[in-house]
Chains A and B, each alone.
Chain A
Amino acid sequence: MSAKITREDVAHVAALARLDVTDDELDRFTKQLDAILEHAASVEALDIDGVKPTYHPLPLVNVFRDDVVRPSIERDAVLSQAPEAEDGRFRVTRILDAE
């Protein structure tokens, strides 16, 4: 856990997170993330084997509601805020090559 984060690591997580980063940004972010992770590594000093993790402050498991139909937001209201829409749908860039 004390291993330093490398430039390659940062490039890898940027790709996973779908963020284009420049070479300059890679240098800067690597240095900054390394300093933050070094501080965060202080949790390693704690003897916490066997301590249960807390994922959420409330003891909720599943929250159900009755399965009833009710009005939702109008499709046109939502699509009016999209960068591009067509025929009642979001328009995206081509995913598959044309035949």
Chain B
Amino acid sequence: MTDAITSKTAAELAGDFRDGTLSASEIVDAHLDRIEALNPELNAFLYIDADRARRRAADLDAVRAAGNEAGALAGVPIGLKDLLCTEGIPTTAGSKILKGWRPPYDATVVSRLEAQGAISLGKLNMDEFAMGSSNENSAYGSVKNPWDTSKVPGGSSGGSAAAVAAGMVPLALGSDTGGSIRQPAALCGVVGVKPTYGRVSRYGVIAFASSLDQIGPFGRTVADAAFMLEAIWGYDHFDSTSIEEPPTPVGSVLDDGVQGLRVGVISELANTEGLQPEVAAALQRSAGQLAAAGAIVDEVSVPSIEYGLSAYYLIAPAEASSNLARYDGIRYGLRVEGPDTAATNRLTRAAGFGDEVKRRIMLGTYALSAGYYDAFYGKAQQVRTLIIDDFARAYERFDVLLSPTSPTTAFGLGDKVDDPLAMYLSDVCTIATNLAGAPAMSVPVGKDAHGLPIGMQILAPALGERPMFQAGAALEAAASFNAAEKTGGAL
């Protein structure tokens, strides 16, 4: 019975709560039991908010018993990536430098979800400050992939992807700066959505690279991802980069099909270096399935996409070096006392940050330093324009674009930890989207010979979430991947 509850989608759980089939307390207890059973092995949750979740569930049950409306997501358990501020609840961003910090306010996305009745079960593990593609950069230990615990879950939102894949929660929030929602979604066999830049408020989100960061949902179905996205997006006056124009719902297009939808297969990513043959085959199969469903499918070249990775690894560290200057041992988190304030800053940062964070801070400081600014940062910003222009040309002929989400399925824990550049290359398919500020999603479409999930990426122009979800739902229906395979019983 408990397993049956944790295998349900968020939409099913919301329906069961509304019609009285299940109480919020039963739903929450079933998921907390599953977290208790699996978390020692998976390490997806950094903080389990059990008591508060049970109290909220009891409150929601009382609201329903009184005949009152409890919200669209009432009774649905969720998990939150640990860079989302939660009032009074530990928030670390996966870093030692914020160990024990309890934010004095909630992120807008958190308060919106709670206002609609969602129940947070806790905070999810991640690469430190969202820098990483395997979750091995967390200061609190790696997350393991529920499909094979010798493999990484992807990153940086590895805890979010693993928790949803394993049935610990049906929905989770992550953040995506260069692929940190889509790549772990692909590696863990779940759906992950990176919305248009500015669509979802970043207020209360611990910043990595502010012109690239965007919050988005994980679910086991495209419909669930749409359900959560619609609960969080829309204008927020606390975020000056928030888009004022109201979003058009996406839940209503999921059954529209793809008849006549123009789908471009990105040729540079269909042949990218290091592409696993099974992933290449899955791309061709997905393109064929969309064509069979009525889409008009053709190849399209986005030439500058190949320079995205280089531009990204100059721009993102540059922004990070500035954003992370605030961790100085003065206002919050760790302090390692030195003889003067500057020494306190240096000692605190040396002790509090992990190697990847230090590398990126130094890389960004270098790219922004006198004498190198034009050559590195300036040039990378020009490449950003080329990518935006190339995408615009592609979208004159196509409604959405298609590519693999990751060149490979989940790789082994430890395989790439000593080679940062090899790790960066696992983001080669996802990065250009962030540089362009556009939306993209990953949908699980199959498995490789080892039973590891393969994800396909659907890209759309800025504000193109509707055609993106249309294609995503069609691909999901055609692929018939069972994302709930790991949500009940032992792994």
**Are A17 and B359 CB-contacts (below 8 A) given A53-B385, A84-B335, A93-B339?**
no
Q: What are 11 pairs between A and B in contact, CB < 8 Å?
A: A1-B372, A13-B366, A20-B347, A43-B314, A44-B375, A53-B385, A57-B198, A81-B331, A81-B332, A83-B330, A93-B341
Asked if B344 contacts A93 (CB within 8 A), the reply is: yes
B337 touching A57, Cβ below 8 Å: no
**Residues of chain A lying within 8 A (CB to CB) of residue B421:** 32, 35-36, 39
Q: Mark B326-347, 1 if CB is under 8 A from A, else 0.
A: 0011111111011111111111
A-B contact count (CB 8 A): 172
Q: What's the Cα separation between A9 and B267 when bound, in Å?
A: 39
Main secondary structure of the interface of A (DSSP, over half): loop
* Contact present for A57 and B332 (CB under 8 Å): no
Given the contacts A48-B383, A58-B197, A36 and B243 also touching, CB distance less than 8 Å:
no
Q: Which of A10, A37, A42, A74 contacts B104 (CB 8 A)?
A: A74
Cβ contact of B243, chosen from A19, A52, A54, A58, cutoff 8 A: A58
Residues of A within 8 A of B353 (CB): 19
A90 to B331 alpha-carbon distance, docked (Å):
7
Determine whether the beta carbon of B340 is less than 8 Å from that of A57: no
Q: Which of B7-15, B26-34, B165-173, B304-312 contacts A (4 or more CB under 8 A)?
A: B304-312
B-contacting residues, A45-97, CB 8 Å: 46, 48, 51-58, 60, 63, 65, 73-74, 77-78, 80-84, 90, 92-95
Q: Is the CB of A40 within 8 A of B211?
A: no
Check A17 against B385 for contact (C-beta < 8 Å).
Answer: no
Known: A39-B313, A40-B376, A82-B331. A19 touches B388 (CB 8 A): no
B104 touches A33 (CB 8 A): no
Q: Which of B198, B304, B421 is packed against the most chain A CB atoms within 10 Å?
A: B421
- A side interface size, CB within 8 A: 53
Assess whether B386 is in contact with A19, with CB atoms less than 8 Å apart.
no
Please measure, in the bound complex, the distance between the C-alpha atom of A95 and the C-alpha atom of B313, giving whole angstroms.
35
Classify the interface of chain B: helix, strand, loop or mixed. Answer: helix
Residues of B within 8 Å of A81, CB to CB, are 101-104, 331-332
A binding-site residues for B, Cβ under 8 Å: 1, 5, 9-10, 12-14, 16-21, 25, 29, 32-33, 35-37, 39-44, 46, 48, 51-58, 60, 63, 65, 73-74, 77-78, 80-84, 90, 92-95
Which chain B residue has the least Cβ–Cβ distance from A58?
A: B198
Question: What residues of B have a CB within 8 angstroms of the CB of A63 in the complex?
Answer: 240-241
Contacts of A33 in B (CB 8 A): 359, 362-363, 366
With A54-B385, A81-B332 known to touch, is A19 a contact of B337 (CB < 8 Å)? Answer: no
Please give, as numbers and ranges, the residues of chain B lying within 8 Å of A53 by CB-CB distance: 378, 381-382, 384-385
Which residues B344-370 have CB closer than 8 A to chain A?
344-347, 349-350, 353, 358-359, 361-363, 365-366, 369
State in angstroms the CA–CA spacing of A68 and B476 once bound together: 48
Residues of chain A within 8 A (CB-CB) of B304 are 46
By a CB distance below 8 angstroms, the chain B residues around A60 are: 240-241
Q: Known contacts A53-B385, A84-B335, A95-B341: does B350 contact A19 (CB below 8 Å)?
A: yes
Q: Is the CB of B385 within 8 A of A51?
A: yes
Contact present for A39 and B310 (CB under 8 Å)? yes
Measured CB to CB, the closest approach of chain A to B327, in angstroms, equals 10
Q: CA separation between A10 and B365, bound complex, in Å?
A: 10
- Besides the contacts A18-B346, A25-B358, what 13 more A-B pairs have beta carbons closer than 8 Å? A18-B345, A32-B359, A40-B313, A42-B307, A43-B311, A53-B382, A54-B381, A54-B385, A55-B211, A55-B381, A57-B197, A73-B104, A90-B331
Known: A17-B362, A19-B346. A40 touches B310 (CB 8 A): yes
Say whether A83 contacts B383, CB under 8 Å: no
Q: Is B420 an interface residue (CB 8 A)?
A: yes
A40 to B420, CA, bound (A): 13
> B342 and A18: CB pair below 8 A?
yes
7 closest Cβ contacts across the A-B interface? A57-B437, A53-B381, A83-B335, A20-B350, A63-B240, A77-B104, A54-B384
